[in-house]
Structure 1
Amino acid sequence: MGEVIVVTSGKGGVGKTTTTANIGTGFALQGKKVVLVDADIGLRNLDVVMGLENRIVYDLVDVVEGNCRLKQALIRDKRYESLYLLPAAQTRDKNAVNPEQMKELCNELAQDFDFVIIDCPAGIEQGFKNAIAGASQAIIVTTPEVSAVRDADRIIGLLESEGKHNPKLIINRIRPNMVKKGDMMDINDIIEILAI
């Protein structure tokens, strides 16, 4: 059974989608079978980052609603034989799927893939709850800005309340020269604030 990992942050624009694509591609290059799940219903972008936007026929909501089989909605990346995408619905709201449905979907995907990596939407509402439901591990992406770190701290608390402990941390967009001048938060300060 494969590992289910959610990439989250709370804040938009910190690099969750790019991180999801990069981690998935990295695992695929190591010969692992990987599926990337875009859980950002209504605002999907993972398909664009992956260059697969013109190949979408079915999406995550179609699968959950029974309009297609899971295998019909999966898009194989032609560049990497073992990398797949399950795109989010573009025209629906986040309430089109519930956490229990996401958990079932992740369990089904974990039967066929080494890694299921979920791109979580920004915020802490229904989309976040859906994205974390089936995950056993979490990667938190933040940037060295006070608002992003504060949101990451809130996400850590929410993950722990859902029984998802020991998340991994990616601090994106560090500029060493700005840190040196005191214009940007230091990595060690961020780690201390987040206590992970």
Structure 2
Amino acid sequence: MTGRTIVLTSGKGGVGKTTATANIGTGLAMRGHRVVVVDTDIGLRNLDVIMGLENRIVYDLVNVIEGTCKLSQAMISDKHDYELYLIPAAQTRDKNSITPEQLREMCAELEKEFDYVLIDCPAGIEQGFKNATAAAQEAIIVTTPEVAAIRDADRVIGLLESSGLHRPKLIINRIDPDMVKRGDMMDQKDVESLLAVEIIGLVPADEHT
């Protein structure tokens, strides 16, 4: 088996990237794929909470990299019947605890066992971004239709392409049709013309989130 490693990134925090990672992972697993999601946001992990697995963490990503545990020991299986696993980030370390090469090697091992390896990238473009993107063959950018988020997404696209991750895909989150109609929010065509990347998902705003 040779799986695909896909990084989900955003540039700007708070746009729903981690939730998107969990939802995409769940959707792929429900279709019968073997999926592992990797939280690389060292010091600020959230993927475990979104997936409801926070009380089952024994080992984490840094433990694997440092050799404290085996890769399989850090994997937490989802509570449902399908093949979905989480490797959580360390909560008490910093992003310099791992290198791009180490994460790349770990994901190469995971690709032998899983159809999809989804990496939840930290916000920003610092070391955590470099670690996460180095391990991936494909990238999905999550953004919202706001000027600041689009500007950050544009910068991320440039960084991804310069690092060899060409033709990233885009998910636009929290689109409010009423605001679009009033001209208070960019629509799909506006974002498409600004970023010139393929949009693979449109997620409407939810007043409950």
Coarse TM-score class (shorter-chain normalised): over 0.9
Q: Percent identity?
A: 71
Whole-angstrom distance in 1 between the partners of 2:51 and 2:134: 24
Q: Deviations over 1:65-122 (max 9, x none)?
A: 0000000000011214300000000000000011000100110111100000000000
- Verify: 1:72 aligned to 2:76, yes or no: no
- Residue in 1 aligned with 2:154? 153
**Residue type at the aligned position of 2:112:** Q
- Looking at structure 1, the residues matched to 27 and 95 of structure 2 have their Cα atoms a distance apart, in angstroms, of 29
For this pair of structures, how many residues does the alignment match?
196
Tell me which residue corresponds to 1:118.
119
Q: Which residue of 1 aligns with 2:110?
A: 109
Matched, 1:24 2:14: no
Structure 1 ranges of 4+ moved more than 6 A = none
TM-score normalised over the length of structure 2: 0.93
Give the C-alpha shift of residue 187 in structure 1.
Answer: 1.3
SS in 2 for 1:172: strand
Given that 1:28 and 1:80 are in contact with CA atoms closer than 8 Å, whether structure 2 keeps it comes out as no
List alignment gaps of at least 5 residues for structure 1: none
Aligned-residue RMSD, C-alpha: 0.6
Task: For 1:120, give the aligned amino acid.
Answer: C
Check the 8 A contact 2:30/2:82 in 1, yes or no.
no
- Give the secondary structure class of the aligned counterpart of 2:174: coil
Q: Deviations over 1:130-150 (max 9, x none)?
A: 011110000000001100000
Give the structure-1-normalised TM-score: 0.99
Cα distance in 1, alignment partners of residues 133 and 81 from structure 2: 26
TM-aligned CA deviation for residue 57 of structure 1: 0.2
Specify the alignment match of 1:166 in structure 2.
Answer: 167
Using the TM superposition, name which of 78-87 and 127-136 deviates more: 78-87
